Amino acid sequence: MKSGRAWCRSILVGLVVWAAAILPSAAHDGATSSSEQLVDFDTQIIPILTRQGCNRGSCHGSAAGRGGFRLSLYGGDPAADFRAITWELGGRRIHRADADRSLLLRKPTEDLEHGGGYVLDADSEAAMLIRRWIAQGARRLQRRRVERVEFSPAHLRVERAGERVALRATAYYDDGSSEDVTRWTAWTTVDDTAVRLDLEQHTVQVERPGRHLVLARFLDVVAPLEIILPYGRSTSRNPSIDGTASAKGQAVQRHPIDRLVEERLAELGLKPSEVVGDYAFLRRVSLDLTGRLPSVDEVVAFAGDLDRDKRTVWIDRMLDSEEFTIFWTYRLATWWRVRAPGRGHSRDVIAAQAFQQWIRESLEQRTGLDEMARQLVTATGDSHVHGAATFFRLANGPRELAEVFSETMMGVRLRCANCHNHPLDQWTQDDYHGLAALFAGVQAGRVVRDRGHGEVIHPRTSLPAVPRIPGEAAPVTGGRQQLASWLTAPENPYFARAMVNRVWAALLGKGLVEPVDDMRRTNPAVNERLLQWLSEAWKDHGYDLRWLVRTIVTSDTYQRRWDPKATVVEQRMGASASARPLAAEVLADALADVTGVAWKFGGHSEPTRAIMLADVELPSRALDILGRCDRKGTCQGAAPKVSGLARTLHLLNGDTLNRLVGDRQGFLHRRLESGVSDRVLLRECYLRALSRPPTSSEEGHWLKLLTETEGGSEELRRAAWEDFWWALLCSREFTTNH
Amino acid sequence: MSDTFLDVVAEQVIMSYNETKWEERRRRSVDSSIGRRSVLQAGVLSTIGLGLADWVAAGGDHDPAGAARHCILIWLDGGPSHLETWDPKPEAPVEVRGPFSAISTRVPGVALSEHLPETAKRLDRIAIVRSVTSPLGEHNFGTHYMMTGYRPTPVLEYACHGSIIAHVRAQRGVLPSFIAVPDFRVGGSDFSGAGYLPASARPFALHADPARPDFSVRDLDPYPGVDLQRLQRRRQFLQAMDRASLGDAPANADLGDPAFEQAFRLMASPEARQAFDLTREPRRVRDRYGRRTIGQACLLARRLIERGVAFVTVNHRGWDTHTELVTRLRDGFTGARTPVGLVPSLDRALSALLDDLGASGLLDETLIVVMGEFGRTPKMNVRGGRDHWPRVFSVAMGGAGIPGGTVIGSSDATGEVPKERPVTPADVTATLLSLLGVDRHAELQTEDGRPVRLHPPGSQPISELVG
């Protein structure tokens, strides 16, 4: 039977269009195919409601229903829908003796006035199926359940714009039957300006080059179909790849990341840019690994280092440094939303510091991220001592904890499933409230403990929700311990991918999945094979953060040159690096290092590095202007508090940059006092701020301008240098990592 | 070499920023009365990364005949209760009716909340849409939908009305085209406003409360010791710097922050800076608007549009009244931690604005819109508040030739669902854009070439309002 089914499938690929259009009932390949076959509510009527849009969030699928008729969103709850259709309103929605008098048919065919308008043709196959179901007694047989649905093409590359591609969906049921459900599937596209769907013929046409997605939904199964129309005219073999490999002139094995990225680029008809030079490499990798610009000494030493493997050697040195630990503590603190519980002056800064300190110590001891996650999820005790416990104090109640947990640890946004099953993913309200119930017993004062009781009311049943792990059927009895074991088990499909994706985003600007906390079936990675390989390999290496960072930064993909002409797609796919704005704290520290004027944030009397602040609410206009994140959300792509003109006015006229530039004890003025020559000073400025010497034309240009004041007063000379210094620190080259 | 470098720098002042270049061209084309269309035909714009068709479709430089030149959007952030403002239900049971009563207005048969008495007297200048309906009951989502006409999608952040107007209209004078008073923290602050448009289309947020006695726009005065001449030099240096590091970047790359250019121009103009000086208004005028933030913000909005600003968003926060609705909507007392007395202060500010703009004649060319991201639940909750309710709520509009006294659509007896003529946020956007002269077919492009229609697909301007 199995081989028979496969055989059927292969023929049907060719026959799909006419099979769907001409011979609807012939598409059944199950055992029964008589026209008097009983209609199954769950697998035949519900899909109609979904395809016609009846149970959308904007219609009867909304939480309150519409026009007094409420359906579960996208048919997530067939039992409730069956009740609503057959029992409510005194059963008037169906008329068993004369199906055509059923409201279920009269409304959508606009035989009666219908707020949603005309959504069903009375002569359509869908209407006939509904009619038959009612005539058969409008029963809920639960004859079969969907086991899986195959949508095709799951992945396809077309060579010409406008080429028609047939869409197809096949449902496989638990009774062994299968059925072509193409016409009962809701097909949508993410970008309808690039992808044209023909819902009569069930075809799709791609109008613009790129990687496009079509979303398919049958019952609660959703899946993306990827269709690629390559850029340029290159064929699937990309000569530049061979070129790159042979340029190295070795038979060394290609870095797995580069192999996977370049395969993807070839498929898209894109070419990678070359690898960056030494100066740009050192600046980029220093900022990414240590959050600092390289010192002038390091820049010079690296340039003069003749070791062929110097990049790897320097990477390893940085990975072992204290700066790496400090900076990646900052990054993890951002991801895990370290901040002070409470509000305003009563916020508990010590708890935030303890949380951060716990991260730092874990990284110092090279604890695997799986073990850190386990400790975090199971943390109890005094949050001033056991810093990880602070995590539970940062959310407002068990529901919010469930959301924060899903976003930070699973890279998944469960929050939609609070009020209804997630429309674009598998998540149900049971998952959401089940996870929340798991946290219901957590008492989150300064001391975090499990009370052993506490519940979350499931809005659908109005009963306490059963504690559950998302996606798992069995109730949880082992509390947070069990959740932690599940999360960090090697077979867990979320944790490693979520963390790998975040590290990738930190190092290359954008995640393989974007936004990084919105991983779901309908939002596939730009390079799934890469994400998969990296996640698996990382697990095999004990969830070691340094291994992961090292693996990425030693690849050519990481070391590609930033090409200002590169498109967003080229950057996302790894063909070019991108210019990433420095995070506010990193930029603040870079400004302090370069100008030689330290910050004293808040009440601190000692110089402070911004990346080491655990309390992100510490008042600082400078950090607000530079765009610091409040760590209440993902901190990715969030609009800075201060933007545009207001920010610029501050950089021009405010005391942040002007104070640093004008400080007589700072680098610039001390060097001017020392009587150093303009040429030397110019080089020092470039090396300090941009980690490279000026080009000869830059040197010529600036020296000319800066020496124009010669013969004028010392004051004029100083002012000219200050203005140059200011411009350098505002420049794109300084304020981004590229 | 040296002279040529200075020339190069001078040239770069004009050439380096994409945006600057655009501004320059735009200004030149206006100055020489060539008109944009002929510039377009000359093909000059093909290098600056904006689709030509967009501009033609958007109506070119000149406002199409009859279009409003200005817009003041009074944004009631958090979601104002339609039942306590524009759509009271005096006949409904008490848990729906709420604590306030309704009053009759200048328009027979149309009632407003008792706390909008001044507005009620001027209702002949305002149209109310009582049947706006949306499925999005979360602040960020609702705000994105109401401000852009598009539902939020992970693919693209759309641009709000103000940013669109700022982008397609030539800036008049040195004041930014799109100003937010006191700030643009709307819908929980996740929304930049400009979306896919360049940073230059973002709102200029003052970050200063005009109701405070020490109000002044932050950082508008030069830093001690740095005079305008030096600022000018910094400007040139910065442009040269970015130019050098970017090499032969294409003209449509985002070459940096065009806000620097705007900042330089703004600073150099004393007239522009006076626009922000509320002490130039007589005391009784300031009192008439009410001394609360929304009052002084509306007064400032009036001063700004008098000086040519195209779009002002007055952001009035605090309307998310889950609890203590009576205190927050009606009572006023000083020192409150949350904004209170919201409805009376709106009433005062809005009526003063209508009076002043009416008297100066500016009302005919200024569109006033009052709205938030959604309405509130028809039934009061147990905490004396109302929760989010997007299924039906109201939007008010006035000026710009809108027939006042009109009521579009209606909600049912309990303010729960639209009864007649449902209007979507996309329709509201289309109405606003139509009134502001943005053509139905106008399109802009994102950085990666994706065309975006300014009127959301499927939207329909409200015909009674756009004429």
- pLDDT, tens digit, for every residue of B45-90? 222 333 333 333 333 344 455 689 999 999 999 999 999 999 999 9
Q: A396: Cβ–Cβ under 8 A, 6 or more apart, which residues?
A: none
Of B225, B255, B263, the CB nearest to A648: B263
pLDDT given at position A429? 85
DSSP A474-489: SBP-SHHHHHHHHHHS
What is the average per-residue pLDDT within B10-28? Answer: 33
* CA separation for the pair A46, A129 (Å, rounded): 11
Contact (CB<8Å) B218/A638? no
* CA separation for the pair A187, A512 (Å, rounded): 24
Q: A91: Cβ–Cβ under 8 A, 6 or more apart, which residues?
A: none
Q: A533: Cβ–Cβ under 8 A, 6 or more apart, which residues?
A: A256, A260
pLDDT given at position A110? 85
Contact (CB<8Å) B1/A658? no
pLDDT given at position B190? 65
Q: B156, B237, B391: which to substitute to probe chain A, counting the most A Cβ within 10 Å?
A: B237
Q: Is the pTM of this model over 0.95?
A: no
What is the average per-residue pLDDT within A589-615? Answer: 90
* Topology adopted by domain A1-32+144-230: Immunoglobulin-like (2.60.40)
Alpha-carbon gap: B117 to the closest alpha carbon of chain A (Å): 34
* CA separation for the pair B241, B391 (Å, rounded): 53
pLDDT given at position A639? 47
Contact (CB<8Å) B234/A655? no
- A557 token code pair: 């993909």
DSSP A270-309: -----B--HHHHHHHHHHHHHSSPPPHHHHHHHHH---TT
Residue A397 C-beta-side C-alpha neighbours within 13 Å? 6
Region of residue A730 (left: phi > 0; alpha: psi -120 to 50; beta: else): alpha
Alpha-carbon gap: A283 to the closest alpha carbon of chain B (Å): 15
Res. B462: pLDDT tops 80? yes
Of B154, B238, B451, the CB nearest to A730: B238
* CA separation for the pair A532, A519 (Å, rounded): 13
Q: Give the distance from CA A24 to its chain's centroid.
A: 40
Q: How many Cβ atoms sit within 10 Å of the Cβ of residue A537?
A: 16
Q: Which among B83, B128, B72 has a CA at the least distance from the CA of B343? A: B83
pLDDT given at position A293? 98
DSSP B232-251: HHHHHHHHHHHHHHH-S--T
Q: A276, A562, A642, A652: which to substitute to probe chain B, counting the most B Cβ within 10 Å?
A: A652
Between A367 and A220, residue with greater pLDDT? A367
Res. A244: pLDDT tops 60? no
Res. A281: pLDDT tops 90? yes
pLDDT given at position B30? 31
Contact (CB<8Å) B450/A64? no
Q: How many Cβ atoms sit within 10 Å of the Cβ of residue A567?
A: 17
**What is the CA angle B303-B308-B312, rounded to 5?**
65
Of A62, A514, A648, the CB nearest to B259: A648
Contact (CB<8Å) A727/B241? yes
Read off the pLDDT of residues A540-590 as tens digits, 9 standing for 90 and up.
Answer: 999 999 999 999 999 999 999 998 888 888 999 999 999 998 999 999 999
Between A118 and A603, residue with greater pLDDT? A118
The radius of gyration of chain B's CA atoms, rounded to the nearest angstrom, is 23
Q: How far is CA B248 from CA A317, B2, B240, B449, in A?
A: 35, 22, 13, 20
Of B1, B202, B241, the CB nearest to A700: B1
Read off the pLDDT of residues B357-403 as tens digits, 9 standing for 90 and up.
Answer: 999 999 999 999 999 999 999 999 988 999 999 999 999 999 999 99
Contact (CB<8Å) A704/B2? yes
For B105-135, give the secondary structure using H, E and C: CCCCCCEEECCCHHHHHCHHHEEEEEEECCC
In chain A, residues with a C-beta closer than 8 Å to the C-beta of B191 are 639
Residue A491 phi/psi, 5-degree rounding, is -85, 0
Q: A374: Cβ–Cβ under 8 A, 6 or more apart, which residues?
A: A484, A485, A487, A488
pLDDT given at position A689? 97
Res. B299: pLDDT tops 80? yes
Q: How many Cβ atoms sit within 10 Å of the Cβ of residue A671?
A: 16
Contact (CB<8Å) A639/B233? no
Residue A378 C-beta-side C-alpha neighbours within 13 Å? 16
Average pLDDT over chain B, rounded to whole? 82
In chain B, residues with a C-beta closer than 8 Å to the C-beta of A646 are 204-207, 218-219
Read off the pLDDT of residues A54-86 as tens digits, 9 standing for 90 and up.
Answer: 887 667 886 667 788 989 888 888 999 999 999
- A449 token code pair: 């403990």
**What is the CA angle A305-A307-A312, rounded to 5?**
100
* CA separation for the pair A375, A481 (Å, rounded): 9
pLDDT given at position B336? 65
Res. B119: pLDDT tops 90? yes
Residue B258: is the preceding peptide bond cis (ω within 30°)? no
| Rounded-to-10 torsion of CA A666, A671, A672, A675 | 160
- B208 token code pair: 């200063």
Place of tokens 């894109």: A270
pLDDT-based confidence at residue A26 (cuts at 50, 70, 90): very low
Q: How many Cβ atoms sit within 10 Å of the Cβ of residue A608?
A: 19
pLDDT-based confidence at residue B9 (cuts at 50, 70, 90): very low
Q: A211, A649, A703, A722: which to substitute to probe chain B, counting the most B Cβ within 10 Å?
A: A649
Pairing of strands B70-77, B366-371: parallel
pLDDT given at position B15? 31
pLDDT-based confidence at residue B261 (cuts at 50, 70, 90): confident
- Of all residues in chain A, the one with the smallest CA distance to B200 is A644
pLDDT given at position B447? 66
Q: How far is CA A27 from CA A16, A19, A30, B228, B306, in A?
A: 9, 6, 9, 78, 69
Give percent of chain B with pLDDT exceeding 90. 56
Q: B219, B254, B304, B337: which to substitute to probe chain A, counting the most A Cβ within 10 Å?
A: B219
Give percent of chain A with pLDDT exceeding 70. 89
Read off the pLDDT of residues A294-322 as tens digits, 9 standing for 90 and up.
Answer: 999 999 999 999 999 999 999 999 999 99
Res. B319: pLDDT tops 80? yes
Average pLDDT over chain A, rounded to whole? 87
Q: Which among A393, A394, A389, A323 has a CA at the least distance from the CA of A360? A: A323
Alpha-carbon gap: B78 to the closest alpha carbon of chain A (Å): 18
Number of residues that make up chain B: 467
Contact (CB<8Å) A733/B242? yes
pLDDT given at position A19? 37
Instruction: Provide the β-strand partners of residue A449.
Output: A443
pLDDT given at position B334? 62
pLDDT-based confidence at residue A344 (cuts at 50, 70, 90): confident
Residue A515: is the preceding peptide bond cis (ω within 30°)? yes
C-beta separation of B195 from B148 below 8 A = yes
Contact (CB<8Å) A652/B234? yes
CA-based torsion, A718, A722, A728, A731: positive or negative: negative
pLDDT given at position B333? 67
Place of tokens 């390999």: A537
pLDDT given at position B47? 28
**The one-letter amino acid at A532:** Q
Res. B29: pLDDT tops 60? no
Of B247, B253, B263, the CB nearest to A652: B263
CATH of domain B63-220+276-438: 3.40.720
Alpha helices in A663-713 (DSSP H): 667-673, 678-690, 696-706
Q: A359: Cβ–Cβ under 8 A, 6 or more apart, which residues?
A: A329, A332, A333, A336, A338, A372, A387
Res. A352: pLDDT tops 80? yes
SS3 of A218, please? strand
Q: How many Cβ atoms sit within 10 Å of the Cβ of residue A457?
A: 14
Residue A100 C-beta-side C-alpha neighbours within 13 Å? 4
Read off the pLDDT of residues B355-366 as tens digits, 9 standing for 90 and up.
Answer: 999 999 999 999
In chain A, residues with a C-beta closer than 8 Å to the C-beta of B458 are none
Helices and strands in chain B: count of H runs, count of E runs: 17, 16
Contact (CB<8Å) B234/A567? no
Contact (CB<8Å) A700/B234? no
Alpha-carbon gap: B246 to the closest alpha carbon of chain A (Å): 7
C-beta separation of A440 from A410 below 8 A = no
Res. A624: pLDDT tops 90? no
Environment class of A422 (CB within 10 Å of its CB; exposed 0-12, middle 13-18, buried 19+): buried
N- to C-terminal Cα separation, chain A:
57
Number of residues that make up chain A: 738
Environment class of A251 (CB within 10 Å of its CB; exposed 0-12, middle 13-18, buried 19+): exposed
**The one-letter amino acid at A243:** G
In chain B, residues with a C-beta closer than 8 Å to the C-beta of A728 are 241
CA-based torsion, B414, B417, B421, B427: positive or negative: positive
pLDDT-based confidence at residue A606 (cuts at 50, 70, 90): confident
What is the average per-residue pLDDT within A262-272? Answer: 94
- Of all residues in chain A, the one with the smallest CA distance to B192 is A639
